Every structure is written in structure tokens, then in C-alpha cells.
């Protein structure tokens, strides 16, 4: 803990000077592979989501179609308590879903605090394509979804309801850092998001972000994931970025936009993610010790980088040659090595 404290102070001052110890970036030598398309996603459940997206990308679909398809896979995954239909509810026992989708031309759509509708990512896409707006929330988002043919259904699973009942016994809001998935008993995984970025064979970028948000959040709380610029940002001129972790920190820093703008200024995806983490720490050094923030980025050449505040962030990369799960570099480790 002492080392971590020392590091977080150090990180605030000189993130740019630190050596890269972990995390993998696709290099220029791989550009031929990238020409066939590539998809990356947050967390280990990103592997299955990538496979679903790759089915589309590899047959010539657009990056936008691919990320929607991949995100739908994650939203349907029956054992994921942090994304989609099996997500954990808020502290009132209500499951609310957030999602956003964006392409590299600046077209985007989002839904927040959506109840009782499966596949928020597809509702977000309809918002983008069939309304003059970018974001719909709560009842309005639900009404729009139903008007678009989505079925209203109770999504809260018996497992999620049981987890909520157990949580209520202590009723303490305590976001967990995913340190090596070392979760304390009785306090299971209580947040994570599928953030997915793709480049298609025509070099077009797109991204999707979908989550049930922080478990046991206040009713009405909206995190970063559906907020364009916070949980997701895509620009064909530069690249794309997405985030996972405690969303309030991403919102404070317009973090995904920040990562893309740092790439615009010449940073590699990894450097941009690392500098954005440094910004998060600088703003709230005390809070940064106990919460997780993770960034994943891809530039317009398909090169990928990631960086997290604390250890434990993994991301999945899929293209014609490989399907890898990689461990992101993190501020704590970097500091110990510095």
C-alpha cells in the first residue's frame, strides 16, 4: 500500500516519464493485418464479444455493424452481472441499462437508465439513426424502444435479485478494484463495462459501450458509458477510445475524448491512455487510491493500447491472425518499476 501511495503521487507529477512495463501495442509491422480489420474489447468477456463482432467484420460488414453485434453478444451473456440482461440492479433493486454507439464520422446514439428492455446497444443505434437526438433516458428511452418494436420484459434475474438482497444487509456502496479478480467474499464483481472498438477493412472506425453500471448505485445515477466523450469517443481522423471503471472519474475528465485528443496530438494509443490516467490521478489523488479506471484505445491505423489505474485490467484483441487477451499496463505497477 505504501508503494502504491508513493506511486500515485509520482504518477500525478510525471506519468509521461515512466517506462512501459506491460501491455501490448500492435506495431506498424502489423498494418497488413489491420487492413483486414480488427476489434478490441474491455475485460475477459470481451473475447466472446470480439468473436461475435469478428463474424461480421471478417465478412466485410462495417465497423458499426460489427460493434453493435459484439455488444449484443455481451448483453446476452447469462453469467455477466455487469452488462445487459443479467446485470446487478441499483440500490432500489431496479436494473437500469446504459449504452452508447458511435462511428468515426461523428454519428452517435445513446440510452441511459433504460429499464426492462433487452439490448440497449440496439436501442442506442436506433436513437442515432431514427431520431434527431443523441440520447434518450429513462421512461422516454423505454417508450421509444417499444415504439421501435423492442419488447418490454422483466430482466432482473433471480441471481441478481438475490445479490441485491444480500447487499441490502450491509447496504454499503463500495466499488471494487478488480485486482487480479481477487474479489472479497460476499462482495462480488460490482462493476465493469463492455467497451468495444473496431476498424473495418475500409479503415472506418466505430465503437460501442454497454453496461448495467455500478451495482447498488443510486436510482437515477448515470455513469460514463452512455455519455459520448466520457465512456466512448470515435473519430475517423484520429482513432477511438473507450473506458471502464468508476464512471464519475471519466465524466469529470471527458476521458474518452481526452484520449482521442491526445492521440491527435501525436501520442500512441498506449501513451494517450496513460496520460489520461495521470489526469484522473492529478484531479483526485486521494480517491484514485481506491477506485479503478481503465482506458482502451485504437488509432486510425488499428494500433491498440490500454492503461489502467490499478492492476487487473485485461482486454481482448481479435483480427484475422489472432485472438489475444492482454493485460494492460497500470499505474501502480509502473510506479513500482519507476
The footprint of ligand ASP (CB under 6 A) covers 191-193, 211, 213-214, 223-225, 244-247
Nearer residue to ligand ASP within complex by CB, 191 or 301: 191
Q: Is 63 helix (H, G, I), strand (E, B) or coil?
A: helix
How far apart are alpha carbons 285 and 295 in whole angstroms?
18
Radius of gyration of the chain (CA): 18
How far apart are alpha carbons 25 and 22 in whole angstroms?
10
Minimum CB separation of residue 312 from ligand ASP in Å reads 12
CB 164 within 8 A of CB 126: no
Minimum CB separation of residue 295 from ligand ASP in Å reads 11
Go through the chain and tell me how many residues it has. 338
Minimum CB separation of residue 211 from ligand ASP in Å reads 5
Would you report the helix, strand and coil content of the chain in percent, each value rounded to 5?
40, 20, 40
Q: Which of 83, 32, 42, 50 shows the shortest CA–CA distance to 223?
A: 83
DSSP character for 228? Answer: B
Q: Please tell me which residue in 82, 96, 157, 193 is annotated as part of the active site.
A: 193
Minimum CB separation of residue 193 from ligand ASP in Å reads 3
Minimum CB separation of residue 183 from ligand ASP in Å reads 13
Nearer residue to ligand ASP within complex by CB, 60 or 220: 220
- Element of type H or E holding 331: helix 331-337
How far apart are alpha carbons 8 and 34 in whole angstroms?
35
Minimum CB separation of residue 255 from ligand ASP in Å reads 10
Nearer residue to ligand ASP within complex by CB, 122 or 193: 193
Q: How many contiguous H segments (helices) and E segments (strands) does the chain have? A: 11, 13
Active-site residue 42, yes or no? Answer: no
Minimum CB separation of residue 49 from ligand ASP in Å reads 14
Nearer residue to ligand ASP within complex by CB, 18 or 232: 232
How far apart are alpha carbons 303 and 174 in whole angstroms?
35
The distance from CA 330 to its chain's CA centroid, rounded to whole angstroms, is 16
CB atoms within 10 A of CB 28: 8
Nearer residue to ligand ASP within complex by CB, 37 or 48: 48
How far apart are alpha carbons 253 and 241 in whole angstroms?
13
Nearer residue to ligand ASP within complex by CB, 225 or 288: 225
Nearer residue to ligand ASP within complex by CB, 34 or 332: 332
CA angle 335, 278, 204 (to 5 degrees): 115
- Element of type H or E holding 135: strand 135-137
**Residues assigned a catalytic role:** 193
Amino acid at each position: 500500500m505504501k508503494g502504491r501511495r508513493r506511486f500515485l503521487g509520482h504518477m500525478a507529477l510525471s506519468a509521461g516519464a515512466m517506462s512501459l512495463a506491460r501491455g501490448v501495442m500492435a506495431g506498424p509491422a502489423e498494418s497488413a493485418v489491420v487492413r483486414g480489420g480488427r476489434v478490441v474489447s474491455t475485460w475477459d468477456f470481451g473475447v466472446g464479444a470480439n468473436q461475435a463482432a469478428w463474424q461480421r467484420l471478417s465478412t466485410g460488414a462495417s465497423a458499426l455493424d460489427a460493434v453493435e453485434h459484439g455488444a449484443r453478444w455481451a448483453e446476452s451473456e447469462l453469467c455477466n452481472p455487469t452488462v445487459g440482461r443479467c446485470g446487478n440492479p441499483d440500490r432500489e433493486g431496479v436494473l437500469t441499462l446504459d449504452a452508447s454507439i458511435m462511428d468515426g464520422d461523428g454519428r452517435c446514439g445513446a440510452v441511459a437508465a433504460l429499464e426492462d428492455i433487452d439490448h440497449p446497444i440496439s436501442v442506442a443505434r436506433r436513437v442515432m439513426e431514427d431520431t434527431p437526438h443523441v440520447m434518450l433516458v429513462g421512461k422516454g428511452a423505454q417508450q421509444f424502444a417499444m415504439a421501435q418494436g423492442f419488447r418490454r420484459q422483466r430482466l432482473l434475474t433471480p441471481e441478481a435479485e438475490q445479490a441485491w438482497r444480500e447487499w441490502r444487509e450491509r447496504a454499503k456502496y463500495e466499488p471494487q478494484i478488480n485486482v487480479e479478480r481477487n474479489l472479497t467474499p460476499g462482495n462480488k464483481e460490482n462493476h465493469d463495462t463492455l467497451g468495444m472498438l473496431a476498424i473495418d477493412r475500409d479503415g472506418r472506425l466505430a465503437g460501442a459501450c454497454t453496461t448495467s453500471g455500478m451495482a447498488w448505485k443510486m436510482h437515477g445515477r448515470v455513469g460514463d458509458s452512455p455519455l459520448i466523450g466520457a465512456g466512448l469517443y470515435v473519430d475517423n481522423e484520429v482513432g477511438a477510445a473507450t473506458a471502464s471503471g468508476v464512471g464519475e472519474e471519466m465524466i469529470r475528465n471527458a476521458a474518452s475524448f481526452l484520449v482521442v485528443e491526445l492521440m491527435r496530438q501525436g501520442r500512441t494509443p498506449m501513451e494517450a491512455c496513460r496520460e489520461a490516467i495521470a489526469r484522473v490521478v492529478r484531479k483526485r489523488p486521494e480517491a484514485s487510491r481506491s477506485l479503478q479506471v481503465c482506458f482502451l484505445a485504437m488509432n486510425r491505423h488499428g494500433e491498440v493500447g490500454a492503461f489502467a489505474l490499478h492492476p487487473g485490467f485485461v482486454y481482448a484483441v481479435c483480427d484475422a491472425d489472432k485472438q489475444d487477451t492482454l493485460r494492460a499496463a497500470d499505474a501502480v505497477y509502473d510506479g513500482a518499476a519507476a
